[in-house]
Chains A and B, each alone.
Chain A
Amino acid sequence: MEFASSSSKLPRMYDVLINFNGEDIQRKFVSHLDSALSAVGFTTFLHHHNAVQSTHFEPPILNLCRVAIVVFTKTYSASAWCLHQLQQIIQWHQTYSRHVLPVYYEIQPSDVRLQKGHFGKAFKATAYQTFSRKQLEHAMSRWSQALTKTANFYGWDESNYR
């Protein structure tokens, strides 16, 4: 005997969104974090360039998550996509007072906060590539604010692990 069942309509909710850039860090760190979180029963969404492009999310994925972890690496600031997302994460944090937790992997928190060193150079290069001269100053300061804000949250330096 078969019963027809109404298909599930609600979009999935995720406990934790993990925002990062690059396959390298996914292999080295994010996958481990992901399995550690799943082991205690959290659902996770791996938030990287390809994950979001391949599917259309409606409503925006952030609204389906409850906590965001941002994994900063040396290459993070080389991705315009990441920097855009970070700006939205901060906005989401301010609107809904959700938690944002930075994790630093082989990078100094101060490099992120003040956009110094390698991280800072890559940051500037990305900005110059992405924006026209007219937009540049304004857009860059918004990215920069998002980075500083995030780096001011309580976070972890994971460089010594693994």
Chain B
Amino acid sequence: MDTIVKTLLRLPVLSATKFPVGLQSRVENVIRTIKRKSTEVCMIMICGEGGSGKTTLAKAIYNQIHGRFAAKSLIEGIEQINEIRGDLRLQEQLLLDLLKTKVEIDSVEMGRSMIRERLSGKRVLIVLDDVPRINAPLVRECRNWFEGGSVIIITTRNENLQRVYRADSVFRVKQMNAKESLELLSWHAFREAKPPEEYHFRAKRVVDDCRGLPLALEVIGTYLYERTEEEWISVLFKLEKIPQHDVKQQLQISFDGLSNEMEKYLFLDVCFSFVGKGRTYASKILNGCGIDADSGIRVLIERSLINVNKNNKLGMHPLLRQMGREIIDKISLEEPERNSQLWIDTEEEYVLSKHTVRSSFIYGFETSFGSGCFLMCNIFVFLRSFHLSGQESFRDSLSQEIICANVIL
């Protein structure tokens, strides 16, 4: 029984992505290189534009080979970790995964020496996903400390990192060819490997517009699932008007097509406040605002707009998150009184200008939970900042539900 479960866990198709079109050959390609360098520390870099499948490829490789390593770590979405404490977080996470002990690190220097002391001579597998530029010296040094046979895989959008990290091999994730693209789109849109005859022509045109980018194919494909012919035509019409390199605008077709405001605001809420937070935690807060968050989140997951990882944490593709932020920017420009620019500064603290807080608070309070959850969510952020600063009188005037939510915060 255990061996069955273990074998299944090792199958790359099972966890990396829903429809692994063309994945296996790419995985094997990289693994061949790793095998060739099995006596030294092997650093591999996977580059490609956003949405081209770097993370999926890295995860699939990890799944396939991690059984052979005692110490291993896969850290996703590094770019989204806050920059100031990002290096520390990264070091802590590495030590936690590799040594299975929780450590607190006060400075990068301390983390560096800890990694050196505790991990020297170990054979490790490390996957660092979506690295902007963090900690190049650390990663470079790591190579000298680890035992031969160790593997470090880095995925990044920034091709220049190749020189910084001195990677042994660089894999550029190639765009999917027309055949693969059509298959991936069909899986998402029809749940079949090929589109039905009558849709063949339209599907091909969508594929052309997506330029072999798996993320666009997935998001647009799931959006087109069980759509009528008219809806297909309207999507094609929209796609044609979008410049081919503007992936975010292509992705926005799916956002615009959400069936009601609640779902749209929910997406923005997740984008702003709940990436990396537990799904139950997010639903609790949002349910407290009278929103049917559970079903809303389900819809967003089905549309591939957000995802949930193995630890039940909400996540979002960086490009989609960027898209969400741009939408919010636009909203706040068009409706300055709402001023919804509550930027998240670090993972836990929110930066709020006093004016912003007051206006959004009053606005939200006056409309009395009537104007969509996005604002409500800001109020929680706001409440929390008050809570932290000790001014609790505001809370008394709010409904029980909201106080409950505030307690959760």
A interface residue numbers (CB < 8 A to B): 1-11, 13, 15-16, 32-33, 36-37, 40-42, 59, 63-64, 66-67, 69, 95-99, 101, 103, 156, 158, 161-162
Give the chain A neighbours of B299 by CB distance below 8 A: 5-6, 8
**Residue numbers in B under 8 Å from A15 (CB-CB):** 8, 14
Between A1, A15, A158, the greatest number of chain B beta carbons within 10 A of the residue's beta carbon is seen for A1
Residues in A neighbouring B260, C-beta threshold 8 A: 3-6
* Further contacts, 18 of them, CB under 8 A, given A3-B260, A6-B263: A1-B369, A1-B370, A2-B292, A3-B291, A3-B296, A5-B260, A5-B263, A7-B295, A9-B225, A9-B226, A32-B1, A37-B8, A42-B14, A66-B13, A97-B24, A99-B11, A103-B4, A162-B1
State whether the Cβ of B302 lies closer than 8 Å to any Cβ in chain A: yes
CB of B192 within 8 Å of the partner chain: yes
Q: Which of A10, A16, A156 has the most CB of B within 10 A?
A: A10
Contact B262 A3 (CB under 8 A): yes
**Residues of the B chain whose Cβ atoms lie less than 8 Å from the Cβ of A95:** 193
A3-B292, A13-B18 known; A64+B262 contact, CB < 8 A: no
Let me know if B8 and A5 touch, CB within 8 A.
Answer: no
B180-197 with Cβ < 8 A to chain A: 190-193
Q: List the 10 closest A-B pairs by CB distance, nearest first.
A: A3-B262, A6-B259, A1-B290, A5-B295, A10-B302, A59-B191, A5-B292, A36-B5, A63-B191, A36-B1
Instruction: Type the 1/0 row for B176-212, where 1 means its CB is closer than 8 Å to any CB of A.
Output: 0000000000000011110000000000000000000
Contact A101 B4 (CB under 8 A): yes
- A67 contact from B11, B190, B192, B369, Cβ within 8 A: B11
Contact with A along B218-235 (1 / 0, CB 8 A): 000010011000000000
- Best-surrounded residue of B1, B7, B193, B289 (most CB of chain A within 10 A): B1
Q: How many chain B residues have a CB neighbour from A under 8 Å?
A: 37
Given A1-B290, A2-B290, A5-B292, A37 contacting B5 (CB threshold 8 A): yes
**CB-based nearest A residue for B191:** A59
**Is B101's beta carbon under 8 Å from chain A?**
no
Contact status of A156 and B4, CB under 8 A, knowing A3-B260, A6-B263, A8-B298: yes
Residues of B contacting A3 with CB < 8 Å?
A: 260, 262, 290-292, 296
Q: State which of B9, B295, B310 has its C-beta within 8 Å of the C-beta of A8.
A: B295
Q: Is the CB of A16 within 8 A of B369?
A: no
**Residue pair A11, B191 in contact (C-beta under 8 Å):** yes
Write out the residue numbers on chain A whose beta carbons fall within 8 Å of the beta carbon of B222: 10
CB nearest to B369 among chain A residues: A1
What residues of A have a CB within 8 angstroms of the CB of B289 in the complex? 1
With a 10 A CB-CB cut-off, give which of B4, B226, B296, B310 has the most chain A CB atoms: B4
